[in-house]
Amino acid sequence: MVWERTTRRVLTLSDATAITIDDVAGLRSAGIDPSEVAAAFADVMLEQFFRFGYFHADPHPGNIFVAPVAGSRSGEAARPAWRFAFIRHGRAG
């Protein structure tokens, strides 16, 4: 974590080692179901806007990653074995 750039609402990491959201082969090789990721991504994007009132202004695959969580298994306690990593939320213009 980069503490000097982290706030109560923003978590800043120095490395987002993960799989791009559109790398289907990479997701599958990590044991992650791409259809599960797609459904969760839709939920997250809608929740950002309708529940919290903000949105990711540049949601292309180079800015959205799927990060496997070490020591977890999909379905375990209804939590996936991965997390989203969003980068570059800004918008120009």
Residue numbers annotated as active site: 58
Cα dist from 58 to 2, 28, 47, 76, whole Å: 22, 25, 16, 31
CA 45 to chain centre: 10
CA 35 to chain centre: 14
